[in-house]
Amino acid sequence: MDLLLFVQIRKQTFYLILLFLFSLDVCAQKINNVRFEPEGKTINVSYDMAETKPGQSFFVSLYVTQDGGATWNGPLKGVTGNVGANQTGGIGKAVAWDVSADFPKLEGNIIIEVRATLIGGESEEMEMILVKGGTFKRDVELFGNDEGFYGITLTDFVIGKYEVTQKQWREIMDMDPSYNNNCDYCPVEQISWIAVQEFIRKLTKKTGRNYRLPTEAEWEYAAMGGALGHGYTFSGSINTEDVAWTNSNSSSRSHPVGRKEPNELEIYDMTGNVAEWCSDWFGPYQTIGQTNPVGPESGSKRVIRGGSWNDPPRACLNTSRGNHNPAEGSNSLGFRLVLVP
């Protein structure tokens, strides 16, 4: 369980008021023995993390609330030490929080929470992968824009290792609209972009973690393998048979996630199986370099990427684009999530 600390702040001096146990997320059992020591304008926090499985790591962050948990602020920016991605098991993990970096003035009773979110290893939960930021070049000529390439720069983000499954959807929404139903680990489909937003709202409320759909740029960069990419035409290979379910091998249906080979980032099914919703409105690409682009401000359709079990391989390239009415679903259209830091 997470240890939550009530701290009272008066005239830049911290006073311990109450210490108690509370659990907000499915990975909370990894964090225990949280301690803190105020020092001037800094709160020093230490914690222990249970041993992790091989290949498994966590994204650790600190959050704070001033209203008893009704609203949370975080992850806190003024933190250093054993926070962020790739945290593994061990005792005496140390974090220093410079309060002034997040709050010019912070008074009254507050609760500090240490959160750990899985980003690697085997799990029944929403498993995530850290994508280190970088710059990639998009060939705008491919999409009828001006000739040439331009750079897109992205900061670090954390994206779903798998497409969201029917089991995960059903646990939040209490129903399964999928055409290829009765398949817990097949991707959920026949869900609209609007329905996905409701799923995200309920998931956030249940877990205390914030999610969203990936931007089109994030999706493309992750599909390409990020900084580890080998320049493959499909996500993880030059051969769709290795990494994808398309109309050439799918038997006209989706398949359980993770049954094909992953890409360079250990992300599965970004080519084929089901196409995936992105957050962006569909529209012409910009022809200038951008940092963390979010697409047009408005539109009538939302971007979909990756192709599906119902598409030929040529429609499943890393660079292939599609669009769909956000109020409508399709039996070949699902999604994966990005964790908001």
User: Around 231, how many Cα atoms within 13 Å sit in the side-chain half-sphere?
Assistant: 1
Q: Where are the beta strands (DSSP E) in 182-314?
A: 211-212, 275-281, 290-291, 302-305
pTM of the model: 0.68
What pLDDT shows up at residue 55? 60
Compute how many other C-beta atoms are within 10 angstroms of the C-beta atom of residue 316: 27
| Residues 47-53: contacts with CB under 8 Å, at least 24 apart | 47/3, 47/82, 47/93, 47/95, 47/114, 48/90, 48/91, 48/92, 48/93, 49/87, 49/88, 49/89, 49/90, 49/91, 49/93, 49/116, 50/89, 51/89, 52/88, 52/89, 52/121, 53/121, 53/122
Residues 191-244: pLDDT tens digits? 999 999 999 999 999 888 899 999 999 999 999 999 999 999 999 999 999 999
What pLDDT shows up at residue 151? 87
Q: DSSP code of 269?
A: -
Going from the N-terminus, what domains does the chain have, and what CATH number goes with each?
A: 2-118 (2.60.40), 128-339 (3.90.1580.10)
Q: How many angstroms from the chain centroid is the CA of residue 210?
A: 9
- H or E stretch covering 202: helix 193-207
- H or E stretch covering 149: strand 149-154
Contact present, 106 and 66 (Cβ < 8 Å): yes
Contact present, 268 and 161 (Cβ < 8 Å): yes
What pLDDT shows up at residue 77? 81
Contact present, 38 and 32 (Cβ < 8 Å): no
Instruction: Report the C-alpha gap between 306 and 70 in whole angstroms.
Output: 38
Residues in a beta bridge with 322 = 304
Instruction: Report the C-alpha gap between 252 and 247 in whole angstroms.
Output: 7
What pLDDT shows up at residue 28? 45
Residues 48-64: pLDDT tens digits? 988 777 666 777 888 88
Instruction: Report the C-alpha gap between 45 and 82 in whole angstroms.
Output: 10
Q: Kindly give the confidence (pLDDT) of every residue in the chain, 341 residues in length, as a single tens digit, with 9 standing for 90 and above.
A: 233 333 333 323 333 332 222 223 334 457 888 888 888 888 899 999 887 776 667 778 888 888 877 777 777 888 999 987 778 888 999 999 998 888 887 777 778 888 887 664 444 568 899 999 999 987 654 544 445 567 899 999 999 999 999 999 999 999 999 999 989 999 999 999 999 999 999 999 988 889 999 999 999 999 999 999 999 999 999 999 999 999 999 999 999 998 899 999 999 999 999 999 999 999 988 877 889 999 999 999 999 999 999 999 999 999 999 999 999 999 999 999 999 87
What pLDDT shows up at residue 147? 52
Q: DSSP code of 52?
A: P
